[in-house]
A and B are shown apart, each in its own frame.
Chain A
Amino acid sequence: DQQVKQNSPSLSVQEGRISILNCDYTNSMFDYFLWYKKYPAEGPTFLISISSIKDKNEDGRFTVFLNKSAKHLSLHIVPSQPGDSAVYFCAASPNYGGSQGNLIFGKGTKLSVKP
């Protein structure tokens, strides 16, 4: 059973417009959420994170929104640039007693930004 779901395998956006990537989770024990970007043949690169006590975190062109009641988070990229084209992974960290912080990832969404 997949605990972190990214239901859109791909997304295509025009340069300069907003990209919105979505992620749903099922486990209410998750307390920290992250977005990673991955280029082919490279490891994932950390982008932005959010704690469950917040509903928004912003870093430059990237903003993550968290809706705990809906168990949903989203990553907004404004404005989108061709260099943003990559696979984006949503990840969650569980807060069980004695949690070791291992991340649980979604399957990823491939973003293509067209010039």
Chain B
Amino acid sequence: DTGVSQDPRHKITKRGQNVTFRCDPISEHNRLYWYRQTLGQGPEFLTYFQNEAQLEKSRLLSDRFSAERPKGSFSTLEIQRTEQGDSAMYLCATGHYEQYFGPGTRLTVT
């Protein structure tokens, strides 16, 4: 257990629906990252927060994706109008050089 928790662990949704995931980081870590992992690939960077400020977004993060980290604590990742291509494991990590990952949220879009 890394101390990073994610909720839910699994989510099945129909195409076109909105979904939201939550990440609770290790409390003393200012930096929080979101990654996405698909089958046969390594995790791919989506976005990054330093405290409550979202400082970087990958080109993978389309306009349907939005992330927040109010008060620099937990973070949420929302996907609007889900598509089948959004099916993946969504991972949250905290730390700096050495990043500690949560267990991930497995999203399946049917």
Contacts and interface: CB of A to CB of B under 8 A. Distances in A.
A and B found bound together: yes
Interface of A: 4, 32, 34, 36, 41-46, 49, 89, 91, 93, 100-108
Contacts, number: 68
Interface of B: 2, 4, 6, 31, 33, 35, 40-45, 48, 50, 55-56, 58, 91, 93, 96-104, 106
B42 A49 contact: no
B98 A34 contact: yes
Given A89-B43, A104-B45, 9 more contacts: A43-B103, A46-B99, A100-B48, A101-B97, A101-B99, A102-B33, A102-B48, A103-B35, A107-B40
Contacts of A43: 2, 4, 6, 91, 93, 101-104
Contact of A107 (B31, B42, B50, B106): B42
A41 B39 CA distance: 12
A41 B45 contact: no
Contacts of A46: 2, 98-101
B40 A103 contact: no
13 contacts: A43-B2, A43-B104, A45-B2, A46-B98, A91-B42, A93-B97, A100-B55, A103-B33, A105-B43, A107-B41, A107-B42, A108-B41, A108-B42
